[in-house]
């Protein structure tokens, strides 16, 4: 039932997109990258929480030369194989966080990485996308774009509240857990910048794209130190990697 509901929803959205009535948040990510000179070429993509592919993945799959789509639920993974272009997509039914940590990804040159998780603790003690860091940086191309879905406000159920808020406090470097219920935009961006291994990467650009409700996409353009210039040259960038 969910597959058919989301398929109809997807058709309605694509009808509007095709007539340029609106941009979805993922459309806006790619359009902003194009306008800011930061779109990687080629797009070798890693989707870490892909579900059935109809929510976000299908919107950028056509831009990819290669797409690795992770989904731990076997039914969703099977639907993703139907929804995504078969000539460039590898659907992997597995724990994506474990794959990142244990070195089981198919490649080490991903130029576009997308993590769209829910604001919850789950699985083997995981929380949101936090447990991908720092290991995910090992798999990035010399120039790459990392996009994460950030929940600026959370209202967790009482049973999970303490655990979720504490993990968010740790990740964002907050003084007390209660501060993790509502994030400041600038502090949120600074926290993510701190998690980028500064000895390995320069942050060529960083910006946010509004998403649904209380969420935003945080887009980070990363250039490995000692490699050729990114599509967006440093002289053109308005973000230096330092935030006051």
Domains of the chain by start residue, with CATH: 2-156+188-224 (3.40.50.150)
pLDDT-derived band at 235 (thresholds 50, 70, 90) equals very low
Cis peptide before 5 (omega within 30 of 0): no
pLDDT of res. 24: 86
Instruction: Determine the Cα–Cα distance for residues 62 and 222; give it in Å rounded to an integer.
Output: 23
Instruction: Determine the Cα–Cα distance for residues 162 and 27; give it in Å rounded to an integer.
Output: 35
- Residue with the bigger pLDDT between 15 and 188: it is 188
pLDDT of res. 240: 36
- Please name the residues in contact with 69: beta carbons below 8 A apart, sequence gap of 6 or more: 47, 50, 53, 57, 80, 84, 89, 90, 91, 92
DSSP 153: B
Per-residue pLDDT, averaged over 114-135, amounts to 94
Query: Whose CA is closest to 26, among 120, 93, 112, 144?
Result: 112
User: Which CA distances in Å does 132 have to 18, 34, 37, 115, 151?
Assistant: 34, 27, 27, 9, 16
Instruction: Using CB atoms within 10 Å of the CB of residue 181, give its burial: 0 to 12 exposed, 13 to 18 middle, 19+ buried.
Output: middle
Both tokens of 116, joined, read 């769209």
Please say if the pLDDT value at position 230 is more than 80.
Answer: no
Exposure string (b/e) for 57-78, b if CB count within 10 Å is 16 or more?
A: bbbbbebbebbbbbbbeeebbe
Asked if 128 and 120 touch (Cβ cutoff 8 Å), the reply is yes
Instruction: Determine the Cα–Cα distance for residues 9 and 13; give it in Å rounded to an integer.
Output: 6
Instruction: Determine the Cα–Cα distance for residues 74 and 62; give it in Å rounded to an integer.
Output: 23
pLDDT of res. 35: 96
**Out of 46-55, 138-147, 190-199, least confident range:** 46-55
Summarised one tens digit per residue, pLDDT across range 174-205 is 999 999 999 999 999 999 999 999 999 999 99
Per-residue pLDDT, averaged over 43-60, amounts to 90
pLDDT of res. 142: 97
Q: Is the pTM of this model over 0.75?
A: yes
Per-residue pLDDT, averaged over 210-226, amounts to 93
pLDDT of res. 134: 97
pLDDT-derived band at 148 (thresholds 50, 70, 90) equals very high
């Amino acid at each position: 039932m969910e597959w058919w509901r989301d398929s109809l929803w997807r058709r309605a959205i694509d009808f509007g997109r095709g007539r340029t009535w609106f941009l979805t948040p993922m459309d806006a990510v790619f359009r902003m990258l194009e306008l800011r000179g930061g779109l990687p070429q080629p797009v070798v993509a890693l989707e870490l929480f892909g579900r059935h592919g109809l929510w976000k993945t299908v919107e950028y799959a056509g831009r990819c030369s290669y797409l690795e789509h992770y989904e731990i639920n076997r039914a969703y993974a099977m639907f993703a194989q139907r929804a995504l272009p078969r000539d460039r997509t590898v659907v992997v039914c597995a724990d994506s966080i474990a794959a990142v940590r244990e070195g089981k990804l198919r490649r080490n040159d991903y130029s576009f990485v997308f993590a769209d998780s829910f604001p919850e603790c789950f699985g083997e003690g995981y929380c949101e996308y936090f447990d991908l860091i720092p290991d995910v940086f090992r798999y990035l191309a010399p120039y790459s774009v990392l996009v994460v879905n950030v929940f600026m406000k959370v209202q967790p159920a009482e049973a999970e509240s303490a655990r979720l808020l504490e993990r968010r406090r740790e990740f964002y470097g907050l003084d007390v857990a209660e501060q993790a219920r509502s994030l400041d935009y600038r502090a949120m961006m600074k926290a993510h910048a701190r998690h980028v291994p500064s000895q390995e990467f320069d942050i060529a650009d960083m910006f946010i794209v509004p998403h649904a409700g209380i969420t935003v996409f945080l887009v980070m353009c990363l250039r490995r130190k000692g490699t050729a210039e990114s599509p967006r040259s440093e002289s053109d960038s308005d973000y230096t990697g330092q935030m006051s």
